[in-house]
A and B are shown apart, each in its own frame.
Chain A
Amino acid sequence: MMTTLFKIIGWGLRGIVVLWVLASLGAEFVAPYKPNDIVGQMWNGAFWQDTSETARQVLGTDQLGRDLLSRLLYGTRNTLTVALGATFAAFAVGIGFGFWAAIARGRIDMACSRVADLIIAVPTLIVTLLVIAAVGPSVGVLVAIIAVVDGARVFRLARLVAMNICAMEYFESARLRGENLRWLMLHEILPNVRMPLITEFGLRFCFIFLFIAALSFLGLGLQPPEADLGSMVRENASAISFGVLAPFFPAAVIAMLAIAVNLSSEALVRAKRRA
């Protein structure tokens, strides 16, 4: 009974999140207003709070009178795009160096591993703050930092799983055939280590998504007037004192997306364990 109930809630949540993400991808067609248009007063309530004739915004307005629902849709797309881009960048870096270290061994492996150890030993947020203090906040910088910092964590996993493949006979024969590094990485190792990497991708994406949201919340991620979930929370934070729910909506979207991704990767892990 309990299990079925949890399953239904889990699937329901994931369904809503999928619909929401699809809607945000087509934000131009779905959103009632443009994200940066001022359409009302500051902090109009949501439809159940503000029932007056003049209220036309489903979830009310933000601190500048822009439509909250439209900004949420555009913001979801922006934050997701940056998070996905950063995760792919981290995996490109981590897998590239990880496979290379596993194939080359010796000094190259040693050097890569020590650098990765060093990066992992420093807290992520601190490195990021340091670099942003030096270079200034921008999306490119953010993606680059995450590619290095999270890349080091992906590197460990990629190196470990690739090591096992490198000990296989088919890999040895490919090497003896004289295949180049690129072929060895993409055609010999990668297809055989997909599963652990995909599972890791889900978890990593979740971390990176929350991390970007937190940085934007601190004012160091995506810069205004770009709609973005983390900065929407910060910009609307003081609305709570007036009983307006504006900062809750972006925060809730972040939480729901993260929970849905976590649920899915957990289900993936469980399915793999059963197989």
Chain B
Amino acid sequence: MTVLTRTILTRIAASIIMLVLISVFIFFAVDMLPGDVARAILGSSATTEALAALRTKLGLDEPAVWRFAHWAWGVLHGDFGTSITTQEPVTTIISFRLGNTLWLAALAAAISIPLALALGIGSALWEGSAFDRIASIVTLGAISMPEFFVAYSLVALFALNWQIFPPISTVTTDSTFLDRLDALILPAITLAFAVVAHMMRMIRAAILDVLGSPFMVMAELKGMPLRRRILRHALPNAAAPIINVIVLNLAYLIVGVVVVEVIFVYPGLGQLLIDSVAQRDLPLVQAGSLIFAAIYLTLNTVADVLAIAFNPRLRFPR
């Protein structure tokens, strides 16, 4: 086994341990609550019989470790339990919504990654120019703006003023591709806004870092044309940090989706999570949190693995 594979396998093993710890936390966060889960759900006016019935239903009268084992076994088999409010299996509720969320995230990524690359490379090449300065000011503003400000501005302009796109993103199981695209344009742009700003800044920094190194000066002094210098010498060396920041931002997209889904009333996993937190539907909250945490963790691991693969210096952690 080479050093590279061993480092990567160690990193993946660490993430799996992390995921197990997170699922333990997600399960027992509910247990740690002072007082009684059943009473918290039913309220203070519940009768003793109702409380006892709910406790049996939630399995609260069994030992905690046994309950966790039972839950974890179910999760591994794709069974997240039953929703308290709707009495439907959590898996059925979630599958449609997870697809919707991934759709939105994918569209946002498709908009933001090329844009961030173009802006980042451009402002690094013309460092200090008007383009660079304006881009830097605009991105600082975009990072500082809350999603709902961007979202409502877009709705006011494109949905109410000009009526090009719908203000609310309604999709059903039989929406066509174009329907979805039409409904998702505004939320996707909102999401892209913050992510592009962050990615662009990191890409610019990564390229500037490479452009300042001696081998780039050497290439210029040899009289190599700009195009070749950038494509053959600068970009391959800046690739590692760029890929890393793109994957990290994908992780952010998946989680940042929550607020945007609520704004546009989009039937995704984020909206479901917020609703179930408000209704204290614990099986749904646990399932939603676990899925979000798992995706986030996986993307972070991918980012790390890619960074290790591209940068030999990271193969020997100190």
Contact = CB atoms under 8 A, between A and B. Distances in A.
Contacts of B25: 122
A213 B144 contact: no
A132 interface: yes
If over half of B's interface residues share one DSSP class (helix, strand or loop), that class is named, otherwise mixed; here it is helix
Interface string B108-140: 000000000000000000000010010001001
A133 B140 contact: no
A171 B272 CA distance: 53
Given A118-B18, A121-B22, A217 B148 contact: yes
Interface string B33-55: 11001001000000000000000
Interface residues of A, number: 44
Contact of B289 (A126, A234, A259): A126
A218 B265 CA distance: 12
Nearest to B259: A214
A129 B273 contact: yes
B296 A123 contact: yes
Contacts of A214: 146-148, 259
A213 B84 CA distance: 29
B152 A247 contact: yes
A129 B145 contact: no
B146 A210 contact: yes
B296 A122 contact: yes
Interface stretch (B69-77, B96-104, B230-238, B274-282): B274-282
Interface in B143-167: 143-149, 152-153, 155-156, 160, 167
A220 B155 contact: no
A252 B274 contact: no
Interface residues of B, number: 51
Given A6-B137, A214-B146, A130 B289 contact: yes
A130 B28 CA distance: 10
Contacts of B107: none
A149 interface: no
A228 to B, nearest CB: 13
B141 A259 contact: yes
Given A133-B276, A262-B144, A2 B29 contact: no
A240 B285 contact: no
A230 B286 CA distance: 26
Contact of B22 (A2, A122, A136, A263): A122
B262 interface: yes
Contacts of A217: 146, 148, 259, 262
Interface in A144-172: none
Contacts of B26: 130
Interface string A105-135: 0000000000001100111011001111111
Given A220-B277, A248-B152, A254-B149, 13 more contacts: A122-B297, A129-B273, A130-B29, A130-B289, A131-B29, A133-B276, A218-B258, A218-B259, A219-B274, A220-B274, A240-B155, A241-B160, A251-B152
6 contacts: A122-B293, A122-B296, A134-B282, A219-B274, A219-B278, A254-B146
Leading 8 A-B pairs by shortest Cβ distance: A258-B144, A251-B149, A259-B144, A133-B277, A123-B255, A133-B285, A134-B33, A255-B145
